[in-house]
Amino acid sequence: MKKIISLSIILGIASVSFIGCAQKTDRGPNSYRAMNQDCYEQKCIRNSLDETSDKASKPIKNIEVQREVPQDAPILEKNKTLRISVVGQGVAPTNTSSPAQAYALAKRAAVADSYRLIAEKVKGVYVEGDDLIQNMMVKRSSIRTSVTAMVKNANVIETNFKEGLCEVEMEIVLSHAQFGH
Amino acid sequence: MRSRDGNSSITRAIWPLIFFSSFALLDAKEFIISYRYVVKDATLYNETLYISEAMQKCSGTPQEHLLLTTDKKNSLKDIIKNNEEEFIDFIHKLGLSVEHKEKTTNLINTSTTILTLKSTCFKVDFNDNFATIAPLK
């Protein structure tokens, strides 16, 4: 009796491991391991979708589907607009004669910061950095960034002034026609 | 053939119009305006607005205009001084060139942002209660 029970247990374990192996081989290149290790976001999404198609019998909810964008696709498409929104910050100088003046000056600084952020987003930033290492130690580390651009038709959406800090939300709407290509 | 009397009423009506419109044209002046402000470490450091009457006639056509109340003042500088916020907003809409430099040395950050309106010619029409100002392009 004991022999029969032990034999049946061994057979059961063997059959379970066999089924597991068979499932792994069925998945092939779309295994979970491959998905997690070496793939970018879009590829991962595609793989996860393939996984879900394998399990078609089960109802699956909340699948995030992203449209694949080719690398050389234009950011600004024809007949479509691109809205860029930024929040710039400015601080009032310490030697102001009234709270109203402090607000006005802080707002001016915040608007300039917003313009800079818009320029950075649309045109890009030039970055340059260097580290000086002596005797296996970082002596000096410096990063220089710069941006030069022309910004037109940017609109102020909202202004907040709290505890000497002014925040200005600005946005710019870009269209394909503005660039005249 | 028409009689002289028949046309006299029309000419009487037209002449004042021509006369006053010529005065209105004479009242239009051109100004060169430039604006620049510097923000250092998120604080306004320097702001300059240069206004000068054009010595030569500017070329170009007037673009979208701004109406400013004159308060019985004839000088553009005074008019802009009274409507500073509106005029600065208008200049921002026209477009400013942004020049930003930032430096981080040993985790200490300093930045300078300069916004500039290059010297631009504006056509200004002075009226009794308001002035119309429009950039020429």
Question: Which domain range does residue B115 map to?
Answer: 27-135
Contacts of A115 in chain B (CB under 8 A): 96, 98, 113, 115
Is the pLDDT score of B19 beyond 90? no
Q: Do B107 and A141 touch (CB under 8 A)?
A: yes
ipTM attached to this prediction: 0.77
Q: Phi-psi region for residue A49, left (φ > 0), alpha (ψ -120 to 50) or beta? A: alpha
Using the predicted structure, report yes or no on whether residue A4 has a pLDDT greater than 60. yes
Chain A environment of B118 (Cβ under 8 Å): none
Structural domain includes residue B4: no
Interface contact B97-A116, CB threshold 8 A:
no
Q: Per the CB < 8 Å rule, is B113 touching A113?
A: yes
* Confidence label for A178 from pLDDT (cuts 50, 70 and 90): confident
Q: What is the pLDDT of residue B46?
A: 93
Whether B111 is in a domain gets the answer yes
Task: Let me know if residue B120 belongs to a domain.
Answer: yes
* Residue B43 located in a structural domain: yes
Question: Is position B46 within any domain?
Answer: yes
Q: How confident is the model at residue B67 (pLDDT cuts 50, 70, 90)?
A: very high
State whether B105 and A120 contact (CB < 8 Å).
no
Per-residue DSSP letter, A77: -
Residues of A in contact with B108 (CB under 8 A): none
Residue A140, pLDDT > 70, answer yes
Residue numbers in B near A118 (CB within 8 A): 98
Q: Which of B100, B105, B113 has the CB atom closest to A142's CB atom?
A: B105
Mutant choice from A87, A140, A145, A156 vs B, greatest count of B C-beta within 10 A: A145
Query: Residue A37: its pLDDT value, please?
Result: 42
**Would you tell me which residues 78-107 of chain A have a C-beta closer than 8 angstroms to some C-beta of chain B?**
89-93, 105-106
Q: What is the pLDDT of residues B76-118, one digit of tens each?
A: 999 999 999 999 999 999 999 999 999 999 999 999 999 999 9
CB B95 within 8 A of CB A178: no
Average pLDDT, chain A: 75
- pLDDT, position A63: 58
Task: Note whether B39 contacts A90, CB cutoff 8 Å.
Answer: yes
Q: Search chain A and give the residue with CA nearest B108.
A: A142
Local confidence band at B23 (pLDDT 50, 70, 90 cut-offs):
very low
pLDDT per position as a tens digit, A71-98: 777 777 777 889 999 999 999 998 889 9
Whole-number percent of chain A with pLDDT over 90: 46
Look at residue B41 and tell me if it is in a domain.
yes
Distance from CA of B42 to the nearest CA of A (A): 5
> What are the φ/ψ torsions at residue A56 (nearest 5 degrees)?
-65, -25
Task: Please report whether residue B10 resides in a domain.
Answer: no
Q: How many CA atoms lie within 13 A of B19 on its CB side?
A: 6
DSSP A86-104: EEEEEE--SS-SSHHHHHH
Residue to substitute from A147, A161, A165, A168, interface B, most B β-carbons within 10 A: A147
Q: Which two tokens stand for residue A69?
A: 């964008």
If one counts the domains in chain B, the total is 1
Q: What percent of chain B has pLDDT over 90?
A: 66
Q: Which residues of A touch B99 (CB under 8 A)?
A: 146-148
- Residue A93 has, within 13 A of its CA and on its CB side, a CA count of 16
Q: How far is B88 from chain A (nearest CA, A)?
A: 10
d(CA A34, CA A31) in angstroms, rounded, equals 5
Task: Please check the confidence at residue A30 and state whether its pLDDT lies above 70.
Answer: no
